[in-house]
Amino acid sequence: MPLDDHCQPWIASWDASDQHRTGTAGDRQTSEWLLRVVSSLGAKAELYEFPFIRKDVRTAYLQIAHMNYEGFPMFDGGTTLGGDSSGVLSTTPDKDSILVLDESNSDTSLESARRSQELKGVVVVSNLPIPGLALLNADRYGQPYGPPVLQVPSESKQELLGAADSNRHASLSIVLDDQDTDASNVEVTIRGIRSDLAPVVFMTPKSSWYTSTAERIGGIVCWLECLRHFVQHPPTRDVIFTANTGHELGHVGLSRFLDTNPQLTKCAHLWVHFGANFGATDSNVRLQSSSENHLSTMRSRLQKHNVSVSSETKPGFRPGGEARNIFDGGGEYVSILGSNKLFHHPDDRFSTNVDLPRLLRIRSAMLECVQHWATSV
């Protein structure tokens, strides 16, 4: 069956789920779907489950007089401990205020506000120029810090900034419930001709805040196509595939994989990270690697397939996405990711935001790269 015959049904299957958030039913269904797809490609996948505490939202709103502005909390921020946090709204980080932050037009960064010991809370207005709430990742999910942070949709921007300019009094309520559950990774190993050689590891996230089709599907497609290739064409080295949950929550799934394989970070011949967004319409493709040679390989193969590269994270600089875990652990890595005009937004769907022809060209280019990396000695 031609390569392209697989990809569109895979994308449609991913897009059929309303959410892929870590530790939810959607996350579990994604794992089960990947198990079925891997089996259909002729390999055996393992479901790796681990205990996980999911945070569910009980309340998340800002109240001004009798008006409530509903939002979504940052899961690695503070809470209001079952009550609320009251203060004067402000557009500057004044003592005992609730800061209303428009990051697209502010001298105060969200990170500096979160490190403040003087704020009662922070309200972050979504900075996408369309209605809806584009969520921020909770990179310190297991180590929350700072004041409570409420994210609100862009359509509330003018009202909230006006209220902050007038120093209106407001109350912030963020209450979360901890739910004991399980989260899961999907793992596959294909033995090479020379298992004595260090393996190549292919990783991609499989979780997100919403459906997040263009964000995630480029990585999923490339991950599955590489697996399919090595089932049909055994590599020289062992190849290990891990699709990890927890991307939006500080990479907790990849951290669990690394904890259970503590030597792999440094001992792997190479980590191949299929990251976010390179399947999105108008995505600016970014390459990252610990090696200039690997960057050159990716650059030339992408150019051959008429894919332009907008930027690169050079060796020695901390990369974005899951590649940073490998960088921090001293491993060798390559990574491809991109931009997304609907990043972390509920409208990021197959019909509106996936550039399938270009994604297929990227897939073909990356297949050529990984054939070289997995067969070299």
C-alpha distance from residue 6 to each of 13, 239, 350 (Å): 11, 21, 15
Nearest alpha-carbon partner for 252 in 142, 136, 135 = 142
Q: Could you state, in order of their start, the residue ranges of all structural domains in the chain?
A: 3-54+181-375, 58-176
Q: Can you tell me whether residue 200 is helix, strand or coil? A: strand
**pLDDT tens figures, 173-195:** 999 999 999 999 999 999 999 99
Q: Which of 334, 342, 329, 343 is nearest to 365 (CA)?
A: 334
Q: Answer for the pair 240, 187: CB distance below 8 angstroms, yes or no.
A: yes
Which pLDDT score is estimated for 127?
Answer: 82
Q: What is the pLDDT of residues 134-147, one digit of tens each?
A: 999 999 999 999 99
pLDDT score for 105: 63
Whether residue 107 is predicted with pLDDT greater than 80 in this model: the reply is no
Q: In this structure, what DSSP letter does residue 92 have?
A: S
What's the whole-number average pLDDT of the chain? 95
Q: What's the CATH number of domain 58-176, 1.10.3720.10, 3.30.420.40, 3.50.30.30, 2.60.420.10?
A: 3.50.30.30
| Among candidate residues 65, 64, 43, 15, the one with its CA nearest the CA of residue 189 | 43
Give the residue-averaged pLDDT of 251-267: 97
**For residue 280, is pLDDT > 70?**
yes
Given this structure, which CATH class describes domain 3-54+181-375?
alpha beta
Q: What is the DSSP letter of 115?
A: T
Instruction: Give the integer Cα–Cα distance in Å for 279 and 128.
Output: 19
pLDDT band at 129 (very low <50, low <70, confident <90, very high): confident
Please report the pLDDT score of residue 1 as a whole number: 40
H helices present in 233-347, as ranges: 252-260, 264-267, 292-304, 323-328
Half-sphere exposure of 69 (CA within 13 A, CB side): 27
What does the pLDDT average to over 144-169? 95
pLDDT digits (tens, 9 = 90+) for 325-347: 999 999 999 999 999 999 999 99
* Average pLDDT of the segment spanning 263-275: 98
Q: Which residues contact 181 (CB under 8 A, 6 or more apart)?
A: 23, 51, 52, 53, 54
CB-side exposure of 193: number of CA atoms within 13 Å? 9
Rg, Å, the chain Cα set? 22
Triad 190, 192, 193: Cα angle to 5°: 155
How many angstroms separate the CA atoms of 167 and 99, rounded? Answer: 10
Burial of 349 (0-12, 13-18, 19+ CB in 10 A): middle
Position 377 confidence tier, pLDDT thresholds 50, 70, 90: confident
